[in-house]
Homo-oligomer: A and B are copies of this chain.
Amino acid sequence: MTYCVGIKVNEGMVFASDRRTNAGLDNFNSYSKMYVHKGIDRNIIILTSGNLATSQAVFNSITKDLEDDTNGNNLNNLFNLNEIAKYIGRLNVKHSSPDGINQETIELGSTFIVGGHIKDQESELYLVYPQGNFIKSSEFKPYLVIGEIKYGKPILDRVVKSDTYLGDAARCALISMDSTMKADLSVGPPIDLVVYKNNSSKIVYQQSLEINDDDYQYISKQWEKGIFEIFKSFNRFNWEDK
Protein backbone atom coordinates (compact mmCIF):
# COMPACT_ATOMS: atom_id res chain seq x y z
CA MET A 1 0.00 0.00 0.00
CA THR A 2 0.84 3.67 -0.03
CA TYR A 3 -0.37 6.91 1.42
CA CYS A 4 -0.30 10.19 -0.51
CA VAL A 5 -1.90 13.52 0.32
CA GLY A 6 -2.28 16.71 -1.70
CA ILE A 7 -3.51 19.94 -0.06
CA LYS A 8 -4.52 23.18 -1.77
CA VAL A 9 -4.86 26.24 0.45
CA ASN A 10 -5.07 29.88 -0.55
CA GLU A 11 -1.36 30.38 0.08
CA GLY A 12 -0.17 27.41 -1.96
CA MET A 13 -0.03 23.63 -2.13
CA VAL A 14 1.45 20.73 -0.17
CA PHE A 15 2.25 17.24 -1.48
CA ALA A 16 3.38 14.28 0.60
CA SER A 17 3.92 10.62 -0.21
CA ASP A 18 5.51 7.65 1.52
CA ARG A 19 7.97 5.32 -0.25
CA ARG A 20 7.00 1.85 0.93
CA THR A 21 5.83 -0.63 -1.66
CA ASN A 22 4.94 -4.22 -0.95
CA ALA A 23 3.68 -7.41 -2.44
CA GLY A 24 3.18 -9.01 0.94
CA LEU A 25 4.88 -8.43 4.30
CA ASP A 26 7.87 -10.50 3.19
CA ASN A 27 8.41 -8.53 0.01
CA PHE A 28 8.62 -4.81 0.50
CA ASN A 29 10.75 -2.14 -1.04
CA SER A 30 11.23 1.60 -1.27
CA TYR A 31 10.31 3.69 -4.31
CA SER A 32 9.38 7.31 -4.63
CA LYS A 33 5.74 7.79 -5.61
CA MET A 34 6.22 11.46 -6.40
CA TYR A 35 7.02 13.06 -9.77
CA VAL A 36 8.08 16.71 -9.67
CA HIS A 37 8.26 18.72 -12.88
CA LYS A 38 9.65 22.26 -12.78
CA GLY A 39 8.98 23.86 -16.17
CA ILE A 40 9.64 27.40 -17.35
CA ASP A 41 6.08 28.58 -16.72
CA ARG A 42 4.84 25.78 -14.46
CA ASN A 43 5.36 23.47 -11.51
CA ILE A 44 3.54 20.13 -11.70
CA ILE A 45 3.58 17.53 -8.93
CA ILE A 46 2.17 14.03 -9.39
CA LEU A 47 1.63 11.41 -6.66
CA THR A 48 0.63 7.82 -7.25
CA SER A 49 -0.81 4.79 -5.49
CA GLY A 50 -1.87 1.39 -6.83
CA ASN A 51 -0.12 -1.01 -9.20
CA LEU A 52 3.57 -0.13 -9.05
CA ALA A 53 4.36 -1.35 -12.58
CA THR A 54 1.58 0.84 -13.99
CA SER A 55 2.63 3.84 -11.88
CA GLN A 56 6.27 3.51 -12.97
CA ALA A 57 5.25 3.06 -16.61
CA VAL A 58 3.19 6.27 -16.39
CA PHE A 59 6.11 8.17 -14.84
CA ASN A 60 8.44 6.82 -17.55
CA SER A 61 6.05 7.88 -20.31
CA ILE A 62 5.83 11.36 -18.80
CA THR A 63 9.63 11.67 -18.92
CA LYS A 64 9.85 10.21 -22.44
CA ASP A 65 7.18 12.59 -23.74
CA LEU A 66 9.08 15.52 -22.21
CA GLU A 67 12.33 14.47 -23.89
CA ASP A 68 10.71 13.98 -27.28
CA ASP A 69 8.57 17.08 -27.64
CA THR A 70 7.81 16.45 -31.33
CA ASN A 71 5.65 13.62 -30.12
CA GLY A 72 2.46 15.39 -29.06
CA ASN A 73 1.29 16.27 -25.57
CA ASN A 74 3.60 16.56 -22.61
CA LEU A 75 3.76 18.29 -19.22
CA ASN A 76 5.36 21.35 -20.82
CA ASN A 77 2.94 22.02 -23.65
CA LEU A 78 -0.43 21.13 -22.16
CA PHE A 79 -2.34 24.33 -21.59
CA ASN A 80 -3.88 23.82 -18.17
CA LEU A 81 -4.11 21.43 -15.21
CA ASN A 82 -7.36 19.94 -16.45
CA GLU A 83 -5.64 18.89 -19.69
CA ILE A 84 -2.76 17.45 -17.70
CA ALA A 85 -5.15 15.38 -15.56
CA LYS A 86 -6.72 14.08 -18.78
CA TYR A 87 -3.24 13.23 -20.15
CA ILE A 88 -2.30 11.30 -16.98
CA GLY A 89 -5.63 9.48 -17.20
CA ARG A 90 -4.86 8.38 -20.79
CA LEU A 91 -1.39 7.14 -19.82
CA ASN A 92 -2.88 5.30 -16.83
CA VAL A 93 -5.42 3.40 -18.92
CA LYS A 94 -2.82 2.70 -21.62
CA HIS A 95 -0.29 1.18 -19.22
CA SER A 96 -2.81 -0.76 -17.16
CA SER A 97 -3.95 -2.69 -20.26
CA PRO A 98 -0.64 -3.40 -22.03
CA ASP A 99 -0.71 -5.17 -25.42
CA GLY A 100 -4.44 -5.47 -25.49
CA ILE A 101 -4.84 -7.62 -22.36
CA ASN A 102 -6.90 -6.62 -19.33
CA GLN A 103 -9.11 -4.28 -21.35
CA GLU A 104 -12.53 -5.17 -19.99
CA THR A 105 -11.71 -4.40 -16.39
CA ILE A 106 -8.96 -2.22 -15.02
CA GLU A 107 -7.13 -4.69 -12.80
CA LEU A 108 -3.67 -3.17 -12.87
CA GLY A 109 -4.78 0.44 -12.56
CA SER A 110 -3.22 3.13 -10.43
CA THR A 111 -4.57 6.31 -8.90
CA PHE A 112 -2.88 9.70 -9.18
CA ILE A 113 -3.02 13.07 -7.48
CA VAL A 114 -2.06 15.76 -9.98
CA GLY A 115 -1.52 19.30 -8.82
CA GLY A 116 0.36 22.45 -9.59
CA HIS A 117 0.35 25.80 -11.23
CA ILE A 118 0.74 27.11 -14.78
CA LYS A 119 1.49 30.76 -15.69
CA ASP A 120 -1.11 33.07 -14.20
CA GLN A 121 -3.76 30.39 -13.84
CA GLU A 122 -5.12 29.40 -10.46
CA SER A 123 -3.33 26.45 -8.87
CA GLU A 124 -5.37 23.25 -9.05
CA LEU A 125 -5.50 19.76 -7.60
CA TYR A 126 -6.97 16.67 -9.30
CA LEU A 127 -7.48 13.01 -8.46
CA VAL A 128 -7.16 10.71 -11.49
CA TYR A 129 -8.86 7.30 -11.19
CA PRO A 130 -7.74 3.94 -12.66
CA GLN A 131 -10.47 4.41 -15.29
CA GLY A 132 -8.75 7.59 -16.47
CA ASN A 133 -11.47 9.98 -15.36
CA PHE A 134 -10.84 12.52 -12.62
CA ILE A 135 -12.23 14.92 -10.04
CA LYS A 136 -11.07 18.29 -8.72
CA SER A 137 -10.54 19.02 -5.02
CA SER A 138 -13.47 20.71 -3.27
CA GLU A 139 -13.49 24.18 -1.70
CA PHE A 140 -14.91 22.85 1.53
CA LYS A 141 -12.30 20.12 2.11
CA PRO A 142 -9.40 21.30 -0.03
CA TYR A 143 -7.35 18.11 0.04
CA LEU A 144 -7.17 14.78 -1.78
CA VAL A 145 -5.81 11.48 -0.51
CA ILE A 146 -5.02 8.15 -2.17
CA GLY A 147 -3.87 4.74 -0.94
CA GLU A 148 -4.27 3.87 2.74
CA ILE A 149 -6.38 6.96 3.38
CA LYS A 150 -8.38 6.35 6.54
CA TYR A 151 -5.90 6.66 9.42
CA GLY A 152 -4.72 10.10 8.39
CA LYS A 153 -8.09 11.59 7.47
CA PRO A 154 -9.40 12.82 10.85
CA ILE A 155 -6.56 15.32 11.33
CA LEU A 156 -7.00 16.66 7.78
CA ASP A 157 -10.76 16.95 8.35
CA ARG A 158 -10.25 18.94 11.53
CA VAL A 159 -7.43 21.23 10.44
CA VAL A 160 -7.33 21.90 6.70
CA LYS A 161 -9.47 24.71 5.33
CA SER A 162 -8.78 27.00 2.37
CA ASP A 163 -7.47 29.72 4.69
CA THR A 164 -5.14 27.45 6.66
CA TYR A 165 -1.53 28.74 6.65
CA LEU A 166 0.67 26.90 4.18
CA GLY A 167 3.08 25.93 6.98
CA ASP A 168 0.26 24.47 9.04
CA ALA A 169 -0.95 22.54 5.98
CA ALA A 170 2.57 21.09 5.58
CA ARG A 171 2.75 20.14 9.26
CA CYS A 172 -0.75 18.64 9.05
CA ALA A 173 0.32 16.51 6.06
CA LEU A 174 3.31 15.23 8.03
CA ILE A 175 1.18 14.43 11.10
CA SER A 176 -1.37 12.68 8.90
CA MET A 177 1.49 10.64 7.39
CA ASP A 178 3.00 9.94 10.82
CA SER A 179 -0.36 8.66 12.16
CA THR A 180 -0.72 6.39 9.14
CA MET A 181 2.81 4.97 9.41
CA LYS A 182 2.35 4.26 13.11
CA ALA A 183 -0.92 2.40 12.42
CA ASP A 184 -0.10 0.51 9.21
CA LEU A 185 3.08 -1.35 8.25
CA SER A 186 2.27 -1.00 4.55
CA VAL A 187 3.05 2.73 4.70
CA GLY A 188 6.66 3.63 5.51
CA PRO A 189 9.45 6.20 5.32
CA PRO A 190 11.08 8.17 3.85
CA ILE A 191 8.41 10.79 3.22
CA ASP A 192 8.67 12.94 0.12
CA LEU A 193 7.37 16.40 0.97
CA VAL A 194 6.97 19.29 -1.45
CA VAL A 195 5.54 22.73 -0.71
CA TYR A 196 4.60 25.18 -3.44
CA LYS A 197 3.93 28.84 -2.66
CA ASN A 198 1.56 30.80 -4.88
CA ASN A 199 2.99 34.28 -4.47
CA SER A 200 6.54 33.22 -5.30
CA SER A 201 5.40 30.76 -8.00
CA LYS A 202 7.99 28.29 -6.84
CA ILE A 203 8.64 25.20 -4.80
CA VAL A 204 9.86 26.49 -1.44
CA TYR A 205 10.46 23.11 0.22
CA GLN A 206 11.38 19.77 -1.28
CA GLN A 207 12.71 17.08 1.03
CA SER A 208 12.82 13.35 1.38
CA LEU A 209 12.40 13.04 5.13
CA GLU A 210 13.63 10.06 7.12
CA ILE A 211 12.07 9.27 10.50
CA ASN A 212 15.12 10.65 12.32
CA ASP A 213 15.39 13.87 10.28
CA ASP A 214 15.04 17.02 12.38
CA ASP A 215 11.96 18.48 10.66
CA TYR A 216 10.09 15.20 10.94
CA GLN A 217 11.19 14.39 14.49
CA TYR A 218 10.30 17.86 15.74
CA ILE A 219 6.77 17.80 14.36
CA SER A 220 6.06 14.21 15.43
CA LYS A 221 7.29 14.83 19.00
CA GLN A 222 5.67 18.23 19.40
CA TRP A 223 2.38 16.74 18.23
CA GLU A 224 2.62 13.85 20.69
CA LYS A 225 3.51 16.24 23.53
CA GLY A 226 0.62 18.52 22.57
CA ILE A 227 -1.86 15.66 22.65
CA PHE A 228 -0.88 14.77 26.21
CA GLU A 229 -1.26 18.45 27.14
CA ILE A 230 -4.83 18.37 25.82
CA PHE A 231 -5.56 15.30 27.90
CA LYS A 232 -4.19 17.07 30.98
CA SER A 233 -6.43 20.08 30.23
CA PHE A 234 -9.71 18.16 30.33
CA ASN A 235 -12.10 18.56 33.26
CA ARG A 236 -12.46 15.24 35.06
CA PHE A 237 -15.63 13.15 35.10
CA ASN A 238 -17.21 13.19 38.55
CA TRP A 239 -16.46 9.49 39.05
CA GLU A 240 -12.73 9.99 38.59
CA ASP A 241 -10.19 9.82 41.43
CA LYS A 242 -8.19 12.72 40.04
| Residues of A near any B CB (own CB < 8 A) | 150-155, 157-159, 165-168, 170-172, 179-180, 182-183, 195, 197, 204-205, 215, 218-219, 222-224, 226-231, 233-237, 239-240, 242
Q: How many copies does the complex hold?
A: 2
Query: Contact at B235–A218, with CB atoms within 8 Å?
Result: yes
Task: Name the CB-closest residue of B to A235.
Answer: B218
The interface residues of chain B lying within 8 Å CB-to-CB of A165 are 240, 242
Smallest distance from the beta carbon of A29 to chain B beta carbons, Å? Answer: 24
Cβ-defined partner of A237 (8 Å) among B205, B229, B234, B240: B205
Besides the contacts A150-B151, A167-B236, A229-B230, what 9 more A-B pairs have beta carbons closer than 8 Å? A151-B151, A154-B179, A154-B180, A157-B183, A158-B227, A167-B234, A172-B231, A222-B230, A226-B233
Cβ-defined partner of A205 (8 Å) among B197, B235, B239: B239
How long is the Cα–Cα vector from A107 to B145 in the complex, in angstroms?
31
Query: Contact at A240–B167, with CB atoms within 8 Å?
Result: yes
Most buried by B among A152, A167, A229: A167
Query: Contact at B226–A229, with CB atoms within 8 Å?
Result: yes
Task: Name the CB-closest residue of B to A239.
Answer: B204
How long is the Cα–Cα vector from A152 to B242 in the complex, in angstroms?
26
Query: Contact at B158–A231, with CB atoms within 8 Å?
Result: no
How long is the Cα–Cα vector from A231 to B173 in the complex, in angstroms?
12
Query: Contact at B240–A230, with CB atoms within 8 Å?
Result: no
Task: Name the CB-closest residue of B to A226.
Answer: B230
Q: List 28 A-B contacts (CB under 8 A).
A: A150-B151, A152-B154, A154-B155, A154-B179, A154-B180, A154-B182, A154-B183, A157-B182, A157-B183, A158-B179, A158-B224, A158-B227, A159-B228, A165-B242, A166-B240, A167-B234, A167-B237, A167-B239, A167-B242, A205-B239, A215-B237, A218-B235, A222-B233, A222-B234, A226-B226, A226-B229, A226-B233, A227-B230
With A171-B234, A226-B226 known to touch, is A239 a contact of B183 (CB < 8 Å)? no
How long is the Cα–Cα vector from A195 to B215 in the complex, in angstroms?
39
The interface residues of chain B lying within 8 Å CB-to-CB of A223 are 230
The interface residues of chain B lying within 8 Å CB-to-CB of A179 are 154, 157-158
